[in-house]
Amino acid sequence: MLVHWQKPAKNKKSSYSLEDREKLPEKLLLRQIKVTINSSGFRTSSFYIITSLLDADRYPAADMADLYFQRWDVELVFRDIKITMAMYILRCQSPDMVRKEILMHLIAYNCIRRLMMESIKEAGVAVRRISFKGCVQALRQWEPHLNQTKMSAQERHRLLGLLYDSIAEYTVAERSGRSEQKAVKRRPKPFQLLTAPRHEMKETKHRGKTYGKQA
């Protein structure tokens, strides 16, 4: 079904400026797709997908719904990089070093993903079924053995095979038809909340410890 979206009204709380709002068209023609989820043991639910791909023959509704469900994997990628790899804390202090730190995290992430791809060749499972966190744990367990200097190529190849087998054992269940409400989730951090400029912060007890210095 095709729908017209009106230009949003002026609002001080909008995420875009007045100049950006003026550039928006008065009306926007979009396509609305209703997706119904039927899961055994759960109530039937539905939601709508809004897209600018108007050609229903070229972009069938079923394909659009499948792409939306695959979108959840993107959210998991962000979680793996930020939480599992602890990139939510950037320790470098200069902008240039922060960019390098982010780049090193992304390189490490792709290396781990390469290990996951190698592990599924013999396991016969989809890579999306392999746990990223489980792969990191397996790599840490086998790292001391793989880093031995005096090792033949045959022995290293054997250990890599055992590492791949270990990674393939960390699988997650299929969660087809999963739909989550958008919300900001506050995760506990081992740091106190900065409520004033640093030079004004005084000694504050936080989880039984004292942080900061007397201003």
pLDDT at 15: 72
Q: Rounded distance, CA 137 to CA 139, Å?
A: 5
Which residues have C-beta within 8 Å of that of residue 83, sequence separation ≥ 6?
187
Query: Is-contact 135 170, C-beta < 8 A?
Result: yes
**Residue closest to 138 by CA, chosen among 179, 59, 84, 174:** 84
Q: How confident is the model at residue 175 (pLDDT cuts 50, 70, 90)?
A: low
The residue among 206 and 89 whose pLDDT is bigger is 89
Which pair of structure tokens corresponds to residue 192? 């106190």
What are the Cα distances from residue 165, in Å, to 49, 109, 134, 192? 39, 20, 12, 41
Dump pLDDT digits (tens) for 145-168.
888 878 888 888 888 888 888 888
Longest Cα pair distance anywhere in the chain, in angstroms? 70
Query: Is-contact 112 137, C-beta < 8 A?
Result: no
The residue among 171 and 95 whose pLDDT is bigger is 95
Dump pLDDT digits (tens) for 77-127.
888 988 888 888 888 989 999 999 999 999 999 999 998 888 888 777 888
Which residues have C-beta within 8 Å of that of residue 98, sequence separation ≥ 6?
90, 92
Tell me if residue 113 falls in helix, strand or coil.
helix
Q: Rounded distance, CA 119 to CA 105, Å?
A: 21
Q: Kindly report the CA angle at 83 between 80 and 84, in degrees rounded to 5?
A: 60
Q: What is the mean pLDDT of the chain?
A: 81
Which pair of structure tokens corresponds to residue 31? 């396509």
Entry pTM: 0.57
**What is the helix (H) or strand (E) element at residue 181, kind and residue range?**
none
User: What's the half-sphere exposure (Cβ side, CA atoms, 13 Å) at 120?
Assistant: 16
